[in-house]
Structure 1
Amino acid sequence: MDSTRPAQPPSRSARLRAMLAAPEISFLMEAHNGLSARIAQHAGFPGIWASGFAISTALGVRDSNELSTKELLDTVAFMVDATTVPIVVDGDTGYGNFNNARRLVRQLGRLGVSAVCLEDKLFPKTNSFLGTGQPLADEREFCGKIRACKDSQLDAEFCVVARVEALVSGRGLTEALHRAESYRRAGADAVFIHSKQQDGREVLDFAREWAGRCPLVITPTTYHGVGVDAFERAGVAMLIWANQNMRAAVLAMRQVCQSIAANRGLTAVEPALVSVQEVFDFLDYDELDAATLRYSSWHGDETTAGAGP
C-alpha cells in the first residue's frame, strides 16, 4: 500500500454503523426528496431517514404500499445525490417476500444507501398509526427475510434494521422482546421498536429489558413529550424524527396557497418566503456557471487529461 496516499474517509455505511455503536444517542431527520435531504444535512443532522410515509405523501399517495419500488428508488437516488451523509431507507415490509426484499437491498446498495429498515407486518402494509390490531408477519418468515437481505447486501457495512410492530399491534412487551431477539439472531444489525403510546413507557420498558443486546432505534412521533435524555439513559442508540419535515411542508404550502387564493396576490406571503436567489445559492448554481465556462468550450491543451477542476 502506498503510505503517501491520503487515507480514504469512512464510507456512508461505515459512518452509520459507527453511529449505531456509539455510546451517545444519534439523530436522523426525515426527508422525502433531494431538497429536504439537503436541508436536513445543512441543518447539521448526521444522517437521514428516507421515510416511506413522507415520500408517499410527497407523491400524493397513501402510505399503504401505493408507492412502488421504482418510485421509492427514483426518489432515494435524488436524496443520495444531494447529500453526503448516511441515508436509512424505510423499506416498509420489503415490498413482498424475501425475494422482493433482497432485490430491494441490492438496488439500494447500488445507489449508495447505508441501511434499510423492514417492518414485521404483512404486505401490503398499513401505516402503524391507523387502526389497531394490525396483522403481523409470521416470525420465521420475517427472520428468513432478514437473512436473505443480509446475504444479498453489496457492502459489508450496510445495515438491516428490523422494525418490531408487536407493541403497535397490541401484542405486548413479551412478544415484542421475543420477536426482537429472533430478528437479532437472524442477523439484524439493529432493532427498531415502535409504539404509538403517548407516555413513552412501552419503549422505556422495552429498552430496559432489551439491555443493549444490539443497537436500539426509536421514533418518538406520538411520545415526543418525553425528553431525549430519558431515551439516552435507557440505552437507545438512534432516534428518528420521522415525519416532521413533511408535516411542516404541508402546513406551509397550505397557508401560502390559501393566502394567495384569498388575497389574489403575493403581498401577504412574499415577506415570509425565501428569495429565488437563496434557492439558487443553496443548490450551488455558481458551480454550474463555473463548470459551464470550463467545459462548454474545451480546447484539450489547458491541462492534462483526467485532471480535476
Structure 2
Amino acid sequence: MKHRSVREVGPDRGVKTLPADILRSQICSNDDLSFLMEVHDGLSGAIAQRVGFKALWASGLSIASSLGYRDANEASWSQLVDVVERIVDSTELPVLVDGDSGFGNFNNARLLARKLRQRGAAGLAMQDSCFPKMNSFVGERHAIADIKEFSGRLRAVRDTVGQDLVLVARIEALIAGRPMEEAVSRAHAYANAGADAILIHSRKSTAEEILEFASAWQNRLPIVIIPTKYYQTPVSAYRDARISTVIWANHSMRAAIVAMRRVCGRIMAREGIASIEPHIATLDEVFNLLGYDELVRAEARYLPPDDKK
C-alpha cells in the first residue's frame, strides 16, 4: 500500500507538520535529553500535556493493566490501537506507541503500523521478542527473535509507513542475559533495517550496562532508555553518555493504583466521602482538564436558544 508523504497539505494549502515530524525532532535531532511520559488513556494524556511534557509514551504495560490484562500480549493489537486513538484525540502531543513485538511476524507488524498511522500515532517501538512476549521484568523466560527475522519486521514497517512513523527498535538482549556484544550487533542490524532510534533495555538496578552500551554504540543512532529499575541514576549521567531520550514508562498508572486504593479504602472504612473530598480533584478540575468550557461555547453557537416562555 502506498504511504502518505511525511508532510501533507492542509485545507489552506499550507504545509502541515505531521506528528512523526515533531517526535523525530525530539528523539533524533535534539542536543539535549528528551523526556516521554507514560500514558494509558485520554485522561492521563491530558494530564501529562497540562504539566508540560512534550511527547507521550503509550505504554503496553500500562494500557494492558488499565484494561485488566497482564502485559503478556493478553490485550489485542486492536484494543491497543483503540486506546491510542483516544490518547491522540485527547492531547496535542506526539505519541510513541509501545507495540511490543508487533503482535506476530512481519505481516502483523506492518498491519499494526498501518493502523497506528491511521489513528494519528507519531511513532512505533517494537522489541525483538518472540510472540507472545512476557513483560521484561517478570520471570526468566525471555525468548528473543532471530536477528534477521526481526530485521524483516522492521523493514516491513518501514516499507509500509515510510517516514510517517518514527520507528524505534527495542533490544531485549540484556534482558535475556545475552552478552553486550550481541546487543551491539543487534543494534547495527536494526539500524540497517531502517530504525530511527535504538531502545536498549535493562532490568539491572544500576545503569552500568546501559552506559556500557552507549559507549560501545558511539551514537550511531539515537539511544532511548527506560530507567524503571535503575531510577536512582542521576539524569546527568544520561546527558554525559549522549543518550537521546528517557521514557518514564509506567508511573502514571502506578500512581493511579496507589491513589485509587487509598480513596477506596477510606470510603469503605468510613462509609462516607466527606473526609476524602479535600484530597481529590474537584469536578471543576475535571471539567477544566477535558475542555467542558469549549462545549458550552459550542452549544451557544450551534444549538437554538431555549424557549423558556
Counterpart residue number, 1:152:
160
| Cα offset, 1:199, TM superposition | 1.1
* Distance in 2 of aligned mates of 1:75 and 1:27: 21
Counterpart residue number, 2:293:
286
Asked if the contact 1:102–1:152 (Cα under 8 Å) also holds between the matched residues in 2, the reply is yes
Counterpart residue number, 2:230:
223
Which amino acid is the alignment partner of residue 212 of structure 1? N
The partner residue of 1:142 within 123, 131, 150 is 150
Counterpart residue number, 1:183:
190
Q: Which runs of 5+ in 2 are unaligned?
A: 1-11
Asked if the contact 1:133–1:168 (Cα under 8 Å) also holds between the matched residues in 2, the reply is no
Counterpart residue number, 1:76:
84
| Pairwise CA RMSD | 1.4
* Distance in 1 of aligned mates of 2:259 and 2:90: 23
Residues 32-47 of structure 1 aligned to structure 2 (within 5 Å): 32-47=40-55
Counterpart residue number, 2:102:
94
Asked if the contact 1:17–1:157 (Cα under 8 Å) also holds between the matched residues in 2, the reply is no
Asked if the contact 2:37–2:55 (Cα under 8 Å) also holds between the matched residues in 1, the reply is yes
Counterpart residue number, 2:171:
164
Percent identity over paired residues: 45
| Cα offset, 1:194, TM superposition | 0.1
The number of aligned residues is 293
Asked if the contact 2:117–2:164 (Cα under 8 Å) also holds between the matched residues in 1, the reply is no
* Distance in 2 of aligned mates of 1:157 and 1:285: 32
Asked if the contact 2:59–2:250 (Cα under 8 Å) also holds between the matched residues in 1, the reply is yes
Asked if the contact 1:98–1:148 (Cα under 8 Å) also holds between the matched residues in 2, the reply is yes
Counterpart residue number, 2:273:
266
SS at match of 1:258: helix
* Distance in 1 of aligned mates of 2:141 and 2:236: 31
| Cα offset, 1:256, TM superposition | 0.5
1:201 aligns with 2:180: no
TM-score w.r.t. the length of structure 2 is 0.92
* Distance in 2 of aligned mates of 1:158 and 1:209: 27
| Cα offset, 1:133, TM superposition | 4.5
SS at match of 1:18: helix
Counterpart residue number, 1:303:
none
SS at match of 2:35: strand
